[in-house]
Every structure is written in C-alpha cells, then in structure tokens.
Chains A and B, each alone.
Chain A
C-alpha cells in the first residue's frame, strides 16, 4: 500500500504532529535540558494545565489557547515554588541529587494525578473551540485546523524562546548558568535566582502547551505516563537545552511516526520513535544539536 500522495500526506501530517510534540517538550528542554533538573513531573504539569484549561473553557467558555495564556502566570509561580523546593532539598545538599530528585518528581506526578482524579473523575475531558473538529482543504489533502494551531503555537514558542535566550540579559544568563555557574557568579548574577526564573518560564510554557494538549486530543488523568517517554525522548534527541534542536527532533519523530502509521504497520509506531532515539544516542550521544 504505497503511493506518492500517501507519502506526501504522511509527511505533512507528520510535520504538524512533530510541531505538537515540540510544543509539549519545549518546557522540558529548558528545565531538564538547560537546568539539569530531572523534571519527571513535566508531563503531569502538562496534564494539570490541560485540566485547568478545561475548567476555564467549560465554565466560562474561554478559548482554550487564551485560557492557557491566562494560566501561564500561575504556572510561572508554580515553577518558581517547585524549583525553590527542589533546590533547597536536593541541589544544595549535592551528592545524589539526581536520583532523589527523580523520585521526588515522580511522587509529585502521582500526587497531581490523584488530585485530578479526585477533582474531575477518571473520565476523559475535552474542550470546544471554533478550530476544533474542522479541516482545511488543500486540493485532496485535508489538514485538521487544530493541528495547524499546534504548528503555529510550536513555531511561536520556539522563535520567542530562542530570541529570549539569545537577545535578553536574563536569557543569556540562563544559557550561561547551564554551562558555567561559577562564571555567572563572577558576572554578578545569582545563579540560583537565574535558574529559578528559568524554571518558572519553563513551567509557564507548560501551561500553554497544556492548552495545546487538550486542543489536539481529549485528556485523562493518567495521560502523563505516555508523555514521560515521549517528551524526554524529544529533549534528549535534540541535544540537551537546544531549543531549535527540540523542534527538529520533534519533527523527525512526528514524521517517522506518521510514515510508519500510514505506510507500514501502525502497531510498530511507538517502537520506531524510541528506536530512533536509541540510534541517535548510539551515534551522536550529545544529541542532534547538542553542545
């Protein structure tokens, strides 16, 4: 079952899917990639944001993306608090911070899961918006508009974050903190404060990505488990901390998944993306655009 038309469609849909993956991974690219915080609860925060968006959409009929933006400041604060706790309890005490940090964030993820279940029940939830459930026609190719929204948001986030990290003082400080904490201290910036802000931004981005998550597909409380592998896969494949790498890796993943789904056995799709990751790790351990 092969035709050029199918391949073309698979690639187009794959690129869009990849952009969606990029959007949900980009926060992790900062928190884990740049700051080295093993944020295993990232997907749980993502789902939490989705439920927040659901609430705003369901009760007050607010557009999901707008709701995501409204949640962003809240998540920024949440990120700052989370990093503070992480720093005080693990990073400062040194030694096996990574191992216990992972366990800590796993615990946080579980607690979030249960809180969502208690509040919203186990059923899946979705939102309504004018762009959900419609498609654009390009000849005989039809593209779901929500996928285009994901594409636009991912592009926007990538461009904005890349610009922020290279153009502003704070952004440069964030990149510097990833490489040379000591040097940053000499520059007169407090690395802990810089990291705190960076983590806040990463979490604020998660709020927007959470909106996208529920726009693209319905969510349920334990959805985060699926995204642990997927988001970390993207970030590691990208090369830690590389924003543009995140976009590229996510698109490669999306296209690979889409092509396998369309042209080969659909049931092999998850294995293909992770085999790709292992392949990249074996050949180029620092990731596609790694430092």
Chain B
C-alpha cells in the first residue's frame, strides 16, 4: 500500500499547512520535514499552534490547506486510525488513558489493531509483546492496575507505552513532562531518548528548555502559527525572535 520511500526521502513532510478556527489562524503556511529516526524538538509559547500541528499530523484535525506526507504517502485525507497503522503514534498533552481498563489492556487495544498484528496472531503473543513494552518503559509492575490508580508520571509513561505498542515510525510526545518533578522529568527524558533510534523518529513538544536542548537534534519554534526559527538547538535558542516570543510576552 505504501509507496517505498527513497532512502534519503524524509519520513514526514509537512507541506504549507494552514489551519484556522473561524477567524483565528492557528497554523499559517507551515512547512517542515522530519527525517527517519530524528529527534525533533517543537517549542513555542502557549497558543502558538504546537498542539494544532500535532493534531494535523495525527489526523485529529483536518488542515484547511496543505498536506501531510508520511513515508512518501499523502495521508492528509486519512482518519487517525489509518495514520496510526502507517506508523504515526502520539501521546496527549492531558493524558487520555482508556479509563475503564488496566494498563495492560490499554496496550492490548493498540496491539489488537496495530498494523503488524498478523505476526502476533494469538492473544498470548500479544500479551507477551505488551508486557515486554511495559518492561522496557518500567511499568511492568503496574500491568494489572486500573489506570485510575496511576500517578501522573505513570500515566505519562503508560501513554508512551501505548503509543509504542502501535509499532510507530514516528512518535509525537505532546508535553509529556508537564507538571512533573525534576527527577521525573529526567526519567521521562531518558525514556524518550532510549525509545528513539534508528527506526523511530520522535517529535517532542516541550516547555522545559533544558529537556529540549538535551533531547533534540533539531528544534523548531512556532509563534502565532508561523515558524520563526528552525535548526540546531543552540542556534534556535539564540535567535532574537525566539527570545522575544518567550520573554517578551
């Protein structure tokens, strides 16, 4: 189904994306590319369009103009579940677990409908796969706990685990560190660093600058729906407009 991408082709290409709500333009002509396995930081003040961009990539929102090309395929008209099957996974700014289920069941949902399900035919296999992801994330002990009993950091981890269970090529982490303590931030950051690699590109949206600096190979800064800077972390941080956007208001 997917057209095999040329080796040097970007994993994700965002093409002149515009999204407006009524008169309010949340994204204005945004174009950017993310490479395979890249660790990509996305920053910007509140209301700058970060989450809108994530919604457009994951399919929760349809852009007014522009296209989202993933793995060489135009996924703009596809619903989120189709994009998930093609390898786009995400976490949410405010965690959205399946509340009536345990941690393990949350992951089972992902595995039940994941693209690679055929290799995990039996429930036992899938459960095994889920457990190994949980072990990797450090939630194995909580597998049978209802999500309602989880702490904030555990919920964040569970969301990442669930996203991983879909077998993604691109993982979008939407402020997974908001509201966590310093030690917890490091914990999640280490986790994200370890998840990324040759196969999985990660877009990390974050307010905590140290974390972004440490994590990202490239950083993009949005303000009022436009890209105001993109490049290596240090360069972007030094950018006057970025400084203004962050400190000026």
- In whole angstroms, how far apart are the Cα atoms of A263 and B100 in the complex? 54
Interface 0/1 of B89-100, CB less than 8 Å to A = 000000000011
- For A94, the chain B residues whose CB sits under 8 A away are 99
- For B100, the chain A residues whose CB sits under 8 A away are 95
- For A95, the chain B residues whose CB sits under 8 A away are 99-100
Nearest A-chain residue to B99, judged by Cβ? A95
Pick the 3 closest A-B CB pairs, nearest first: A95-B99, A95-B100, A94-B99
Interface 0/1 of B68-112, CB less than 8 Å to A = 000000000000000000000000000000011000000000000
Count B-side interface residues using an 8 Å CB cutoff.
2
Find residues 54-113 in chain A having any chain B CB closer than 8 Å to their own CB. 94-95
- In whole angstroms, how far apart are the Cα atoms of A95 and B99 in the complex? 7
- In whole angstroms, how far apart are the Cα atoms of A95 and B100 in the complex? 8
- In whole angstroms, how far apart are the Cα atoms of A95 and B147 in the complex? 12
Closest-CB distance, A186 to chain B (whole angstroms) = 11
Interface 0/1 of A196-213, CB less than 8 Å to B = 000000000000000000
Closest-CB distance, A40 to chain B (whole angstroms) = 24
- In whole angstroms, how far apart are the Cα atoms of A95 and B146 in the complex? 13
- In whole angstroms, how far apart are the Cα atoms of A94 and B146 in the complex? 15
- In whole angstroms, how far apart are the Cα atoms of A94 and B99 in the complex? 9
Nearest A-chain residue to B22, judged by Cβ? A291
- For B99, the chain A residues whose CB sits under 8 A away are 94-95
Nearest A-chain residue to B100, judged by Cβ? A95
- In whole angstroms, how far apart are the Cα atoms of A55 and B71 in the complex? 72
Q: Would you list 3 pairs from A and B whose C-beta atoms are within 8 A, ordered by A residue?
A: A94-B99, A95-B99, A95-B100
- In whole angstroms, how far apart are the Cα atoms of A283 and B19 in the complex? 22
Interface 0/1 of B126-161, CB less than 8 Å to A = 000000000000000000000000000000000000
Closest-CB distance, B189 to chain A (whole angstroms) = 25
Find residues 27-66 in chain A having any chain B CB closer than 8 Å to their own CB. none
- In whole angstroms, how far apart are the Cα atoms of A212 and B125 in the complex? 65
Closest-CB distance, B191 to chain A (whole angstroms) = 27
- In whole angstroms, how far apart are the Cα atoms of A95 and B98 in the complex? 9
Closest-CB distance, B105 to chain A (whole angstroms) = 15
Nearest B-chain residue to A94, judged by Cβ? B99
Closest-CB distance, A266 to chain B (whole angstroms) = 42
Closest-CB distance, B79 to chain A (whole angstroms) = 16
- In whole angstroms, how far apart are the Cα atoms of A94 and B97 in the complex? 13
Interface 0/1 of B47-78, CB less than 8 Å to A = 00000000000000000000000000000000
Nearest B-chain residue to A96, judged by Cβ? B100
Closest-CB distance, B150 to chain A (whole angstroms) = 14
Closest-CB distance, B45 to chain A (whole angstroms) = 15
Closest-CB distance, B141 to chain A (whole angstroms) = 25
Closest-CB distance, A128 to chain B (whole angstroms) = 49
- In whole angstroms, how far apart are the Cα atoms of A196 and B35 in the complex? 51
Closest-CB distance, B165 to chain A (whole angstroms) = 22
Closest-CB distance, B178 to chain A (whole angstroms) = 13
- In whole angstroms, how far apart are the Cα atoms of A94 and B96 in the complex? 12
Nearest B-chain residue to A182, judged by Cβ? B94
- In whole angstroms, how far apart are the Cα atoms of A189 and B139 in the complex? 38
Closest-CB distance, B248 to chain A (whole angstroms) = 21
Closest-CB distance, B146 to chain A (whole angstroms) = 11
Closest-CB distance, B101 to chain A (whole angstroms) = 11
